A and B are shown apart, each in its own frame.
Chain A
Amino acid sequence: MYVAVKGGERAIENAHRLLAHERRGDQTVPELSLDQISGQLSLAVDRVMAEGSLYDRELAALAIKQARGDMIEAIFLARAFRATLPRFGMTEAVDTGTMQVQRRISSTFKDIPGGQVLGPTFDYTHRLLDPTLAGGMVPQRPATAPVPEAPMPRVTDILKSDGLIEPSPLEEQGKPVGDLTREPLSFPADRDLRLQNLARGDEGFLLALGYSTQRGYGRTHPFAGEIRFGEVEVEFFAEDAGFAVPLGAIAVTECQMVNQFKGSATEAPCFTRGYGLAFGQSERKTMAMALVDRALRARELGEDLVAPAQDEEFVMSHSDNVQSTGFVEHLKLPHYVDFQSELGLLRKLRAEFEQAAQNENRLREAAE
């Protein structure tokens, strides 16, 4: 006799208990601490902060632990938490020109004021798995040098003062910066919303799109004008105090791409910009972001729209990995009611098809 399925609630509870158990793993093995994750898997933490749109290393580390290392799940946790936080307002724009630089490189010039500072980077390492890391090792003390007094102007500012690169698109006076998390997105979108969307966007998706532009799908002839990583001050304008109050410093990575030059009937040609900014040391992310930012400016720069990276609606609708994983994974939810309807329709069509074939055979036989 058929018994209707019940007990879903208990099944869910048991599943969650099992999950918690699996997450902890072998209990004779020491449990991961948030300090370990934040300190030794810092790039993972940086990514969760960047795409979770929340600057808090400890929370990001907790999210990674809770998510068992699944980055998108961790990003989801960060975002959901962010949504519950009260908002005080908007900070002043951070000034990356006054950044405490840990790393700063430019491929457009051999040498620049302030010099090329390699900083902590995987670049030029040989990708050979190092077994000494398995056992634990004490790293050598890094080389040090006094912090240079010389200013480190941004390369793009240098080019701008010679008129060689377009000025940063000016803010219209009085026009507030949009906020993707407060307003529904509608197209066409202005650059502020586009950049916000890209900053939160999935690194893999943007990486692929950026790569595609380099391979000819909307080529923009990019040069890495500057990539810098370090801490910047965050300031908040306090109404009562009447001045901007420093809240602290955050680590960010900034990438300025110098792209295909452009002129018009009324203006002399100059280089164009692509911009990327993200929390933490997120070079791949900011470089990809800058490539896609520039590709998305195709419309305003009068270029032909021929490639996916230039398609604003396509890029912005699919860049958010929390949204995309939600919808892809929702296919796991029961869909049997709709499937039943489809089955019904299909059976009907097949029956009609058979009937028509039989009728045709009968006619043919009758004709013979």
Chain B
Amino acid sequence: MAEQDNEQPLLIAEQLGKSYGRQLGCRDVSFKLYEGEVLAIVGESGSGKTTLLQLLSAQLKASAGHVRYRMRDGVTRDLASLGEAERRFLFRTDWGYVHQDPALGLRMAVSAGANVGERLMAVGWNHYGRIRDAATSWLDRVEIDTARIDDAPRTYSGGMRQRLQIARNLVTEPRLVFMDEPTGGLDVSVQARLLDLMRTLVAELRLAAVIVTHDLAVARLLSHRVMVMKGGEVIETGLTDQVLDDPREPYTQLLVSSILPV
């Protein structure tokens, strides 16, 4: 890929909006995300951040605006124009999606090795030994004891499941990862370890990521830029440290100063 391509934005949202009848999901969201850049979307529940994430990952159809993505071949496509086959292929190869509840992003009754190996098999890997080796190395990378490779995630702790979900998503070396409250529901100490791991992986793999979180600490640790949402609208956006250290909007100041309920 040409050097200049990498300087083109990877993901572009243009006046994106979604409404459900009379109820507003989100409105007028615009931004550009570049390779290797991490954007955090913060807000309380009901702020519209999860709706936005689903719009960006083409799981919901927008009521207004567009989402564009630069494919691996360099062509930027409007997500609404993708066929179902293309969209599903994208989801399995160039994108990752980390759910808050890892059970949603894993096959709970199938071994960890199969969970990690599935995407490889879906793109044609046909050698059991090599698939297993790849799975082993990824388990190691996300700090899961490789002896547990044949155990089903049903037997894993919450933190381990989340790390397995991350491994499952990263095995095809995606360029963009969506995360929905990735540390939600985990113990504080487990969260800290997981965040550390995520920060390392994002940097090592030059991942672009959009992370939805109500937890400002997560935003501060992982993201370069942050977007604050309230009532379906973006009320403040900018470099993470700047926004969190020196919030301009009263609502942002409130968020920063208060301890939000989990």
Contacts and interface: CB of A to CB of B under 8 A. Distances in A.
Query: Is A–B contact present in the complex under a CB 8 A cutoff?
Result: yes
Interface of A: 264-266
Contacts of B23: 265
Contacts of B20: 265
6 contacts: A264-B21, A265-B20, A265-B21, A265-B22, A265-B23, A266-B21
Interface in B5-28: 20-23
Contacts of B22: 265
Interface residues of B, number: 4
Contacts, number: 6
Contacts of A265: 20-23
Nearest to A265: B21
A19 B237 CA distance: 83
Nearest to B23: A265
A177 to B, nearest CB: 30
Main secondary structure, interface of A, reads loop
A264 B21 CA distance: 8
Interface in B36-62: none
List 6 A-B pairs, minimum CB-CB distance, nearest first: A265-B21, A265-B22, A264-B21, A266-B21, A265-B23, A265-B20
Nearest to B19: A265
Contacts of A264: 21
A264 B22 CA distance: 9
A209 B231 CA distance: 42
A167 B168 CA distance: 49
A266 B19 CA distance: 14
A265 B21 CA distance: 6
Contacts of A266: 21
A153 to B, nearest CB: 34
Nearest to B20: A265
A288 B23 CA distance: 36
Nearest to B21: A265
B107 to A, nearest CB: 20
Interface string B184-198: 000000000000000
Interface string B156-176: 000000000000000000000
A264 B23 CA distance: 11
A254 to B, nearest CB: 34
A333 B247 CA distance: 75
A265 B19 CA distance: 11
A68 B41 CA distance: 70
B102 to A, nearest CB: 22
A265 B20 CA distance: 9
A265 B22 CA distance: 6
A265 B23 CA distance: 8
Nearest to A264: B21
Nearest to B22: A265
B169 to A, nearest CB: 27
A301 to B, nearest CB: 14
Contacts of B21: 264-266
B43 to A, nearest CB: 24
